[in-house]
Amino acid sequence: MKNKRCGNCGSFEITKNKVEGPFRWKDYPLVYLTSPISLLQCNACGETMRLPGDSEKIDHAVEESLRHYTQFFIAKILERENCKQIELAARLGVSPEYLSSLKAGNRTPSFQTFNFLRTLAMNEGAFQVAAPENATRLAKVG
């Protein structure tokens, strides 16, 4: 990119690089891509620029990554807890049909649902804590 300066730091050192993020997206504060995409980037400060069409490319890559992570979390929880999807849906506070669509990779969850799935997947004790029958029984939760 000749004669183009980074709008963040003013550097001329801009090249096309493979970038994995992070990207701020909808209600997600940070998203790292499962597969990096090619974007103009300032090699001095790391700012990534956008040419026409880049935003659509990023949206596609972000949704693909989030659905992939979501499917991974759901599979991990179901296998570890040996539970039915309906039980997991109850803990998430979503319909079984919605959970099925997440498991199939057909929908992108809100950050709230995604983060809860991540917590349930990565923290073995969280699944029991999140049991609906314990939701308002503080002695059991505590």
Residue 77 is encoded by which pair of tokens? 């929880």
Work out the angle between the directed axes of helices 96-103 and 54-81 (0-180°, nearest 10): 110
- Residue 89's CB is within 10 A of a number of other CB atoms, namely 18
Total of residues contacting other proteins (CB under 8 A): 25
Residues 48 to 87 in contact with other proteins, rule: CB under 8 A: 48-52, 54-56, 58-59, 62
Residue 81, SS3 per DSSP: helix
Check residue 114 and report its DSSP letter: H
- Looking at beta carbons only, is 10 or 93 nearer to other proteins? 10
Query: Judged by CB, which is closer to other proteins: 9, or 75?
Result: 9
Stretch that binds other proteins, among 22-30, 64-72, 89-97, 119-127 (CB under 8 A): 22-30
Joined together, the tokens standing for residue 4 give: 């183009």
Span near other proteins by CB under 8 A; candidates 42-50, 84-92, 114-122, 134-142: 42-50
Q: Which residues bind other proteins (CB under 8 A)?
A: 3-8, 10, 23-27, 40, 47-52, 54-56, 58-59, 62
